[in-house]
Amino acid sequence: MIGFVLFFVWLGFGGDYVWAVAGEGRHAFPWLGVILTLVAIITVRHAYKTGPEKVLWATGAHEIIDAQTDSERQLVNVVEEMSIAAGVPRPRIWLVPDDDPNAFATGHGPADAHIAVTRGLLRICDRDELQGVIGHELGHVKNLDVRLMTTLAALVGAVLLVRDGMGRMMRGGVPLRGSTRKSKDGGPLLAALLVLWILSWLIAPLVTQLLAFAVSRRREYLADTMSAQFTRNPLALARALEKIEGAAAPTMSIKRGTGHLCIADPLGRRFTNREGWLADTFATHPPMGMRISRLKGMGYAQLKKEGGLVG
Amino acid sequence: MWVLLIVLVIAGLWVVGAYNGLISLKNQTVNAFKQIDVQLKRRHDLIPNLVNAAKGAMNFERSTLEAVIQARNQAVKVNASGPEAMKEIGQAENALTGALTRFMAVVERYPDLKATGNISQLQEELSSTENRIAFARQLYNDTATQYNTKQQQFPTTLVAGMAHATPTELWEIEAPAERAVPQVDLSGR
């Protein structure tokens, strides 16, 4: 988050510097820098505040306040059980009307958390598996991942917006020619700075997106592990992941920007199942096979330890 | 001279951090223990409902039902405090768990009984309650273990005396027979 603001400060003040040295429209006060910094701070605040609502609204989820059917009641019970295991307050529970199995968590932290599951998940998972999935989501809640991820989701959109606005301003207002010509006087340092600055602008959205991906992938493994710690039953989560993987259909109601919040990539992207640097850079989730095999590893280690009692 | 001062300040900051860390863990442990109580209370409140619902449907198997009621009343009565509390509560609750397990096994045996909506709903409630208790204990044990480990480890152990940190007991299942009781799968399949 701070990185994001600093990045904008660099974009703004860097621009001012280039402008000032290049001698285009001399302004003593670094307007661009100040404005962009303010924009960045406001965006971050706004994204932080309204993120959860937006995410939930975008998926068309409705909150379960008074459970009606048996499966809803079971869901509420499972969530309450797992929040006891995790030692966090009970989050608010939402149901997404979608037949594809998936789940996600959002919110600002343990005190203000939301967990949403799709109808499809309730249909295909038994009680133990549901426990594993909810444990995974509560792992995200407890790690404060939800705060980070939800804000990142809102930021990716914001950066795109600002970039487009700036691009229009530059084309319409100040001719870039002027500054490049003048930069000869300023020396190669200025030219390098200018190139770097323009490059930063071009890659800004990409950087934010990649940041979201990188954060997301590492956190998935951690949340899987925490789920195993809460339920003491990693094999159930492994089974649930296999079922979710088997369903494969894209989750229609979960949009692209929020993909990294979910337990499984809602787009069912091919990336997710591959390894290698491309997948490592662009996938929001680690390969499902890797996650399942890690969980199974935990499960068998546990069985081995208890082997004296069982066998 | 300066070096000494800096070292002192760093040491002071560390002591504050370690002390506060221990206190925070201690309070978490206490809170986790209270959570078990909350869940046990919930179970005690649930059982009368369960018994009432089952009474009409099962005039047979009276003894099973009565065993549950008795175990429940026994567990409610235990109001001990102090170091002995955990042991007494544990015994009463384990007896109740045993009675409930037998009761659920009986319910499983009569599909007609299970078919009545009320019972299957109560079954879900009951299995959830059992899970809650188990998870509350698990959280307590995890937190207490963390607390115990922290206060025994060097160098935090140097501050343990100052924070009045003493190892807490873990919640254990005593009777080997209890250990053998399999977790009843009551998921309404």
Delineate the domains of chain A, giving CATH numbers in brackets.
2-53+152-203 (no CATH), 54-147+214-310 (3.30.2010.10)
- pLDDT single digits (tens) A130-188: 999 999 999 988 888 777 777 776 666 666 656 655 655 555 544 444 444 444 455 67
CB-based contact B135 A82, cutoff 8 Å = yes
Question: What pLDDT score does A11 carry?
Answer: 66
Per mean pLDDT, which range of A30-34, A126-130, A215-219, B90-94 is the poorest? A30-34
pLDDT at site B27: 92
Of A137, A220, A242, A275, which residue is the catalytic one? A137
Higher pLDDT, A73 or A254: A73
Q: What angle do CA A191, A192, A197 make, to 5 degrees?
A: 100
- Residue B181 forms contact with A (CB below 8 Å): no
Superfamily of domain B13-180: LemA-like domain (1.20.1440.20)
- Which of A71, A127, A134 is the best substitution to test chain B (most B C-beta atoms within 10 A)? A127
ipTM over 0.95: no
B65 band by pLDDT with thresholds 50, 70 and 90 = confident
CA distance A7 to A196: 13
**Interface contact A232-B124, CB threshold 8 A:** no
A137 is catalytic: yes
Give the model confidence (pLDDT) of A210-236 as tens digits: 777 777 777 888 888 888 888 888 888
Is B183 at the interface with chain A, CB within 8 A? Answer: no
Spatial contact of A290 and A228, defined as CB atoms under 8 Å apart: no
Pick the residue from chain B with its C-alpha nearest to A76. B128
Torsion-angle region of A187 (φ positive above 0: left; ψ -120 to 50: alpha; else: beta)? left
- Token couple for A101: 């199995």
Q: What percent of chain A has pLDDT over 70?
A: 59
* A43-75 confidence digits (pLDDT tens): 767 777 777 777 787 777 888 888 778 888 889
Residues 6+ apart with CB under 8 A from A243: A101, A124, A125, A129
Mean pLDDT of chain B: 79
What is the pTM (predicted TM-score) of this model?
Answer: 0.73
A191 has pLDDT over 50: yes
Rounded Cα gap, residues A120 and A102, in angstroms = 7
A77 in contact with chain B, both atoms CB, cutoff 8 A:
yes
CA–CA dist B70, A300 (Å, integer): 40
Between the CA of residue A94 and those of A59, A89, A130, A201, A254, what are the distances in Å? 10, 16, 14, 38, 13
Cβ of B32 within 8 Å of Cβ of A87? The answer is yes
Query: Is the Cβ pair B39, A82 closer than 8 Å?
Result: no
Contacts of B142 in chain A (CB under 8 A): 229
Residue in chain A lying closest to B128 (CA): A77
φ/ψ of A263, rounded to 5, equals -75, -35
In degrees rounded to 5, what are phi and psi of residue A144? 65, 15
